[in-house]
Structure formats: C-alpha cells, structure tokens
C-alpha cells in the first residue's frame, strides 16, 4: 500500500509566534521550527500500515528551503522518499492555494492513501484534508483514531463527542488523523544516517505544473487585514475567604460568563 503523508514545518508550539508587520505573514525567521506535532502521528500511522502490508511511504511538504530539516526528520523515522515543493512564489499562500499546489503534486504521485494531521499548530485551519478531497475528487475520512486498510477499502474509527463512528471508503482516499491514534516513534540514529541517502525531490511551481498566478500572497483569496498582539497578562483578582469564598468565586465566574 503506497501512502503519501503531508508534513508541515511550523514554528515551535512553545515559542512566541508572531506575524510580520509588513505583509502580515508568519514570521518564520525569528523562531525555532519543528514538524507540526500531529503530523508525527500521521507519519507513524503510515509507517505502521507499511510495516504490516508493505508498500512505500512518501513525504510531501510545501514550504521554504528550511523545511528540508522537517522532511529529513520524517525520513529518519522511516519514510522512504520525499517531495519538497519549494518556491518563493508560494510565499503567503493561504489554505485554498496550498491545497491547489499540493493537489497538483499529488496528481503526479501514485498512492492508495493520503494521510494528513488533523490541523497545523500555526494556521489552525484544519481544512487541508477536505480541500484536497474536493480538488482530487477522492473520499475523505476525518478525525481518525484508528485506521484499517485492506484491499481497495479503508476503514476508520472517527472520533466523535460521544464515542466513535466507523467510516469506510474506497481507495484512494484522504485521511486526517488525531493524537489518539498512536504514539509516534523517535527517529533512530541509524534512521538519521539512512535518511541522508533517501530520495528527496525538490520541485518549483513550474516543475509541479502550478500556475504561478494562482498562488502567493497577492493572489490569496483570504488576507490577514489587521492583527494585534494579545494584551499582557493582567494581575489576578484575589478573593478573600471570609466564610463566603465559594459564593464569591461563583459570582466571579458568573460575572465573566464562565458559568
């Protein structure tokens, strides 16, 4: 079973994340970057399916040159090869444009499953699976906490508020996974060394058949119009317990519309 995993490089979740004052895009230069955490689960799930059934795992990443660090990490976990879509023209692309560009690359790859993380920690859009499903005309199965793929069918347990739903589709299909699905492995030292020689194809927009006019900040259907930093944390309010502490806390919570 051949699987493509979409992997995104994002600013470290624990770092202070900022937007550039000028073009209001994400400031990637000033922060440490990491693999989007949920994408580690996506890679792990793909590797588990591959280890059980054979096939190949391909990493697909769109991002600046530096994103190759994240691609190498996925390869050192055990993925077989990678495609890196990297072009200055893509800078500032929103989710819709990104799905267009990634869809173009996916059209050139042979796969049974595309696995994505449920959302990225930077944009928090959580739409990539759905957007690709629409563009590629392939079924999507979202919020997977378990995946079973056999023959031409893939079945997932889709997490819901009350339990889970079993959802089935024919392949090729697009699956988004959530944290409950597995515990991602660490790369091994041997994996790190092996990753150096695994195939990594870098594509420009031209190579991928992406129309340059449809991507990038200027052509983006959605724009960040304005932003402001969150206000500094204010000092807390101290409630003195004079036998009525519980009531005071309840009143406070009610005044803040928490209850």
230 near another protein, judged by CB under 8 A: no
Interface segment toward another protein; rule CB under 8 A; list 70-78, 107-115, 128-136, 160-168: 70-78
Q: What sign does the dihedral 149-102-130-183 (CA atoms) show? A: positive
Q: Tokens representing 32?
A: 């440490």
CA distance from start to end of the chain: 50
By CB under 8 A, the count of residues binding another protein is 15
Q: Are the C-beta atoms of residues 26 and 10 closer than 8 Å to each other?
A: no
Name the residue among 106, 112, 206, 182 with its Cα closest to residue 154.
112
Taking the C-alpha atoms of residue 101 and residue 206, their distance in angstroms, rounded to an integer, is 11
Tell me which of 180, 196, 211, 245 binds another protein, using CB under 8 A: 196
- Binder of another protein out of 30, 153, 170, 188 (CB under 8 A): 188
Residues 150, 187 contacting (CB under 8 angstroms): no
Stretch that binds another protein, among 1-9, 114-122, 159-167, 185-193 (CB under 8 A): 185-193
73 in contact with another protein (CB under 8 A): yes
- 52 sits near another protein (criterion: CB under 8 A): no
For position 187 contacting another protein by CB under 8 A, the verdict is yes
Q: Which of 23, 51, 65, 69 binds another protein (CB under 8 A)?
A: 69
By CB atoms closer than 10 A (0-12, 13-18, 19+), residue 196 is exposed
Of 186 and 252, the one with the shorter C-beta distance to another protein is 186
The distance of closest approach from Cβ of residue 14 to another protein in the complex, given in angstroms and rounded to an integer, is 4
Closest contact distance (angstroms) between CB of 187 and another protein is 6
Distances in Å between the Cα of 120 and the Cα atoms of 12, 123, 226 are: 11, 6, 21
Q: Which residues bind another protein (CB under 8 A)?
A: 14-15, 69, 72-73, 76, 186-190, 192-193, 195-196
């Amino acid at each position: 079973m051949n699987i493509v995993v979409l992997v995104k490089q994002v600013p470290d979740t624990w770092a202070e994340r900022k937007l550039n004052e000028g073009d209001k895009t994400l400031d990637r230069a000033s922060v440490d970057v990491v693999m989007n955490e949920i994408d580690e689960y996506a890679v792990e799930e793909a590797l588990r399916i591959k280890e059980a059934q054979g096939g190949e795992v391909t990493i697909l990443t769109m991002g600046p040159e530096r994103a190759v660090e994240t691609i190498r990490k996925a390869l050192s976990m055990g993925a077989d090869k990678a495609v890196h879509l990297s072009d200055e023209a893509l800078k500032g692309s929103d989710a819709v444009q990104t799905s267009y560009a990634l869809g173009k690359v996916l059209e050139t790859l042979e796969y049974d499953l595309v696995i994505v993380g449920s959302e990225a920690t930077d944009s928090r859009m959580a739409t990539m699976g759905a957007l690709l499903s629409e563009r590629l005309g392939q079924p999507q199965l979202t919020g997977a906490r378990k995946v079973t793929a056999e023959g031409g069918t893939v079945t997932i347990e889709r997490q819901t508020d009350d339990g889970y739903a079993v959802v089935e589709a024919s392949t090729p299909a697009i699956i988004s996974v959530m944290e409950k699905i597995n515990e991602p492995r660490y790369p091994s030292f041997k994996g790190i060394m092996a990753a150096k020689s695994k195939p990594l194809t870098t594509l420009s927009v031209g190579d991928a058949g992406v129309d340059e006019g449809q991507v990038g900040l200027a052509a983006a259907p959605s724009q960040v119009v304005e932003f402001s930093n969150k206000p500094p944390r204010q000092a807390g309010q101290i409630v003195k317990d004079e036998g009525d502490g519980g009531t005071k806390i309840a009143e406070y919570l009610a005044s803040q519309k928490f209850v």
